Amino acid sequence: MTFLGRDPIDIADLAARVSDPGHGGTAIFVGTVRRSPDDGPVVAIDYSGYEEMAESELVQILGQTQERWPGARVALQHRLGRIVVGEASVAVAVSTPHRAQAFEACRYVVEELKKRVPIWKKELMEDGQTRWSDDGDREEAAK
Amino acid sequence: MTFLGRDPIDIADLAARVSDPGHGGTAIFVGTVRRSPDDGPVVAIDYSGYEEMAESELVQILGQTQERWPGARVALQHRLGRIVVGEASVAVAVSTPHRAQAFEACRYVVEELKKRVPIWKKELMEDGQTRWSDDGDREEAAK
Amino acid sequence: MEAIIQIRCSLFARYAELAGCDSITVDVPEGATVEAAVAAVRERMPNGEQLPDRPMVAVNLEHAMPGTKLRQGDELALLPPLAGG
Amino acid sequence: MEAIIQIRCSLFARYAELAGCDSITVDVPEGATVEAAVAAVRERMPNGEQLPDRPMVAVNLEHAMPGTKLRQGDELALLPPLAGG
């Protein structure tokens, strides 16, 4: 199973992958490259990763999610390479029998991903300059 | 604007409707008709509503969401008519600049919808029997 | 003499099934409360005795309290327990 | 006499850019800590003085502490602050 890829993220496919006749709630998070009003004119972000380790961390996160919410079905895709403003860089879908758990488990996966998975972003500005984005999550910080 | 319809729910379309170059996080909830292990063999649910009032309540809920999370973009679709196990009955997408608000606002919309919007479910069982589902949310209760 | 108004009450889902119809019109005094109108509906509607004591009610597309007063033209609706989503 | 082991250290993102390369191999005593190996990398790598005091580190694809001991064949990696998602 591979969580990283270069192709655009297909949300409907991700939702379909967690579909289960016993599950009534699916929560999906989609992270998108954004043009922040305070940080200058970002046009795209180049995503790179320590791919082997990122896959391994993601396997662990999904395992821990299933321990914590037994029976939860989780699908995740993180895109690498150049992603322009407005396109999705990551999507997480979680289905559970009831909706509260789907929201909680989906949030958990996203927070763990941010904390643990070795992926980096280099911002490309309108004027051709680049900037490593490691002073917080520009395109969708926690607060 | 209309939130109710008979066509299958298109999650990608819903996500596209809240897309915004300044928004980095989109949370989506999809409620699906489920076959509960404890409640007998449901094969489908007939959804009906007090449609005018449901639309009006949904407009209010979306307005309140935007008051509480200014700038949030919200899209919602609730399907009526016969929906078979495994298919989506409702989907809510919310995008905000940062992910925490997207999760919170999406959850808020779903909870308010459950509390306030006049929609009803009639379960169709494998043996042809029917049953009004108003003793809690069979296919995806809060707990 | 007290003015009488006609209030049309819509029925949905299990209540419509119970009554075998989608709406009932009742006569109540002008300014009658929702509660009084619901009592009139209960009396007039087939199997009305099977309605709960205080069904959920909407007036003019808004959730309403039993004490809300009604005027000519108001649209009443009895709402079975909600089950959307 | 103390055995010497070779530790290959991968560099990513801003650290790879800083060094102008993707990996550096350093010699350390067997059982050296991550901290000691990072000090050796810092010394050897171009612009190594610009690394933070305690960069985030992985050993064999797992996040690791400065006190973790290294053996021949371990894969070290220096991780710039994470920014996935």
In this prediction, residue C2 has a pLDDT band, given cuts at 50, 70 and 90, of confident
> What class does CATH assign to B4-132?
alpha beta
Nearest to B1, CA basis, from B55, B78, B53, B65: B55
Give the per-residue pLDDT at A41. 86
CA A35 to chain centre: 17
Query: CA of B69: how far to CAs of B1, B3, B95, C54, in Å?
Result: 21, 20, 10, 35
Is pLDDT above 90 for B57?
A: yes
Instruction: Please tell me the distance from the alpha carbon of residue B14 to that of residue A135, in angstroms, as a whole number.
Output: 32
pTM: 0.91
Are B32 and A25 in contact (CB < 8 Å)?
A: yes
Instruction: Please tell me the distance from the alpha carbon of residue B11 to that of residue A138, in angstroms, as a whole number.
Output: 26
Residue B130 near residue B124 (C-beta atoms within 8 A)? yes
**CB within 8 Å of C54: residues ≥ 6 apart:** C35, C38, C66
Q: Which chain A residues have a beta carbon less than 8 Å from that of D80? A: 120, 132, 134
**Does C8 reside within a domain?**
yes
Nearest to B120, CA basis, from B132, B112, B130, B110: B132
Instruction: Please tell me the distance from the alpha carbon of residue A117 to that of residue D55, in angstroms, as a whole number.
Output: 15
Residue B99 near residue B64 (C-beta atoms within 8 A)? no
Search chain C and give the residue with CA nearest B115.
Answer: C82
**CB within 8 Å of B71: residues ≥ 6 apart:** B22, B96, B97
Is pLDDT above 50 for A131?
A: yes
Out of D17, D79, D85, whose CB is closest to A118?
Answer: D79
Query: CA of C49: how far to CAs of B53, C18, C42, C54, C77, in Å?
Result: 26, 10, 6, 12, 17
Q: Which chain C residues have a beta carbon less than 8 Å from that of B142? A: none
Are A90 and D79 in contact (CB < 8 Å)?
A: no
**Does C85 reside within a domain?**
no
Out of B31, B89, B116, whose CB is closest to C63?
Answer: B116
Are B50 and C12 in contact (CB < 8 Å)?
A: yes
| Whether B11 contacts chain A with CB within 8 A | yes
Search chain A and give the residue with CA nearest D64.
Answer: A116
Instruction: Please tell me the distance from the alpha carbon of residue C35 to that of residue C28, in angstroms, as a whole number.
Output: 11
The CA-to-CA distance between both ends of chain A, in Å, stands at 32
Quick one: residue B127, left, alpha or beta (phi over 0 = left, psi -120 to 50 = alpha)?
alpha
Give the per-residue pLDDT at C84. 81
**Does D40 reside within a domain?**
yes
Q: Minimal Cα–Cα distance from A53 to chain B, Å?
A: 24
The neighbouring-strand residues paired with B119 are B49
Provide the residue ranges of all domains of chain B, joining segments of one domain with +.
4-132
Is pLDDT above 60 for B3?
A: yes
Are B137 and C85 in contact (CB < 8 Å)?
A: yes
The CA-to-CA distance between both ends of chain B, in Å, stands at 32
Strand, helix or coil at C10?
A: strand
SS3 string, A41-94, reads CEEEEEEEECHHHHHHHHHHHHHHHHHHCCCCEEEEEEECEEEECCCEEEEEEE
In this prediction, residue B72 has a pLDDT band, given cuts at 50, 70 and 90, of very high
Q: Minimal Cα–Cα distance from B13 to chain A, Å?
A: 9
Is pLDDT above 50 for B17?
A: yes
Give the per-residue pLDDT at A142. 36
Residue C37 domain boundaries: 4-79
Strand, helix or coil at C42?
A: helix
Strand, helix or coil at A130?
A: strand
Strand, helix or coil at C72?
A: coil
In this prediction, residue D2 has a pLDDT band, given cuts at 50, 70 and 90, of confident
Is pLDDT above 70 for A137?
A: no
Is pLDDT above 80 for B136?
A: no
Give the per-residue pLDDT at D42. 96
Are A118 and D85 in contact (CB < 8 Å)?
A: no
Per the model's pLDDT, the better-predicted residue between A73 and A39 turns out to be: A73
Is pLDDT above 70 for B140?
A: no
Instruction: Please tell me the distance from the alpha carbon of residue A90 to that of residue A80, in angstroms, as a whole number.
Output: 9
CB neighbours (10 Å) of residue B130?
Answer: 13
Give the per-residue pLDDT at B141. 37
Instruction: Please tell me the distance from the alpha carbon of residue A124 to that of residue A130, in angstroms, as a whole number.
Output: 5
**Does C84 reside within a domain?**
no
The neighbouring-strand residues paired with A48 are A120
Instruction: Please tell me the distance from the alpha carbon of residue A130 to that of residue A138, in angstroms, as a whole number.
Output: 14
Across A9-32, average pLDDT: 95
Is pLDDT above 60 for B138?
A: no
Instruction: Please tell me the distance from the alpha carbon of residue D44 to that of residue D49, in angstroms, as a whole number.
Output: 10
Tell me phi and psi for residue B25, to 5 degrees: -130, 130
Tell me which H or E stretch contains D6.
strand D4-11
| Whether A111 contacts chain D with CB within 8 A | no
Q: Minimal Cα–Cα distance from B20 to chain C, Å?
A: 26
At C42-75, the pLDDT tens digits run 999 999 999 999 999 999 999 999 999 999 999 9
Q: How many structural domains comprise chain D?
A: 1
CATH code assigned at C74 = 3.10.20.30
In this prediction, residue A140 has a pLDDT band, given cuts at 50, 70 and 90, of very low
Residue D6 near residue D76 (C-beta atoms within 8 A)? no
Reported ipTM: 0.90
Give the per-residue pLDDT at B37. 64
Give the per-residue pLDDT at B134. 67
Search chain A and give the residue with CA nearest D61.
Answer: A53
Out of C61, C62, C83, whose CB is closest to B120?
Answer: C83
At A80-123, the pLDDT tens digits run 999 999 999 999 999 999 999 999 999 999 999 999 999 999 99
Nearest to D10, CA basis, from D83, D81, D75, D80: D75
At D26-59, the pLDDT tens digits run 999 999 999 999 999 999 999 999 999 999 999 9
Per the model's pLDDT, the better-predicted residue between B38 and D49 turns out to be: D49
Q: Minimal Cα–Cα distance from B95 to chain A, Å?
A: 9
The one-letter amino acid at B25 = G
CB neighbours (10 Å) of residue B94?
Answer: 30
**Does D84 reside within a domain?**
no
CA B78 to chain centre: 5
Q: Minimal Cα–Cα distance from B66 to chain A, Å?
A: 17
